[in-house]
Structure 1
Amino acid sequence: MGNYMEGAEPFEFDGDGPSVLVLHGFTGTTQSMHFLGKSLNENYGFHVLGPCLAGHGTSVDEMAKTGYRDWMASADAALHKLAKRGKPVFVTGLSMGGMLTLALAARYPDIIAGIVPINAIAGENDGGLATLVLDPAAPDRIPGIGSDIKASGVTELAYSEVPVSCLREVYLAQAAIGDTLYNITCPVQIIQSREDHVVHPSNALRIMRGIKSSDIRLLWLDNSYHVATLDNDKELIAARAGQFFGETLCDQ
């Protein structure tokens, strides 16, 4: 804990209403989720928690020491912290954070009231990543994948390099989680950019096909790339998530 890059610190916004866990993406930081978390707190009264996942927000060397179980443990601990408040808990996440959102919903149907995966990884890929993770001659690190953003002048706080060992971890995890979507029964609001240069948009369709919820919604974003929570549609995302959580509460 500690020694975070400026802007990558975990955050928590106190609210009287239900809880919302917000999870950032692979090699990214809480900076990408701060606007969404703040909006859910200020505009809807939710109590919001944004953890920084293990190995993130510090250094690439630190990330290289971590893997899926570490990232999942960070999300798991934050979820249970919110559950102790005794109020309904919702989860939303971007990219790998969306993948972890799906994993939590599959694992804890009795805790999670609804989820909003945003440009989530769920096992649909174009093949390029598979070639890299299977290559025995792959380098230890490759150039970073951050800041896939359509809006001009906006930069994501993310690592400039990616440990290939971590790529192998996330590739295995997204494939496995994609095969366990049938365990998800809570209401789901999927949000997906039509043009995404990091996660193939077909992941949204796989999530729709795989989950067993009776309440499945899909919102396509037309004016954002992968890091949509920092992009042109960030206000739309916050409004749709807040509305979805509120409607879900009314239906329970």
Structure 2
Amino acid sequence: MPPSERPISPSDQAVAGGVAVPHHKGHRARLRQRFLQAGPDSLADYELLELVLFLAIPRRDVKPLAKDLLTRFGSLAGVLGADIPALSAVDGLSETAAVALKTVHAAAVRVTREAVSDAPVLSGWQALNDYVRTALAHEKREQFRVLFLDRKNRLIVDEAMATGTIDRVAVYPREVVRRALELDASAVILVHNHPSGDPRPSKGDIAMTRMVSDACDKLDITVHDHLVVGRSGNASFKTLGLL
């Protein structure tokens, strides 16, 4: 077959006017069109990352960078959940690009939080699980949060009460009770993450939950559950019979 008729593979370089044209020329436009015409489900995770990186890196083939990010952080959720210093340490990823990725993550957290805020929390348990996983599953340090609920079990506010180290966080039951009284909350849901990825409650988690529950009981504040968030899923104290 004459060279002029031979199909050009994606890895080939085209030649225009005697000048070699990189194989990725036009790739951005093709990827955008596929997103628009076939929808996001037609794209692999690295291609979705490419679309985000296009916005922050205007003139470069970002496919290798997108694949490197997935390899380094393990998944799309891992990339978006990584903090700015970790992302900025990746060769070829500027602070601007890191901010673009974290903006997507922040938007995802807000969208899932809205789903929790729009209805009584206890009637939308899956939405709650989705929200806390999106917000906390890839945090590098343990964070203890409390969802304060009104008499109809609607979310008043979700607050970070303490941030600790990679494997522990200090929790003060009196602070949980004090804040619940300030907000006129009738119930709470406790939430914290395990940076190790394993959501199984530790002995320390169990002891701390009992102390918070005992303190709340004295003032008729209900502790509906304690959710432990890990990369592999969430663990519910209520479901495990620990509360």
TM-score (normalised: structure 1): 0.25
TM-score (normalised: structure 2): 0.26
User: Computing the radius of gyration over CA atoms, which structure comes out larger, 1 or 2?
Assistant: 2
Structure (1 or 2) with the greater helix fraction: 2
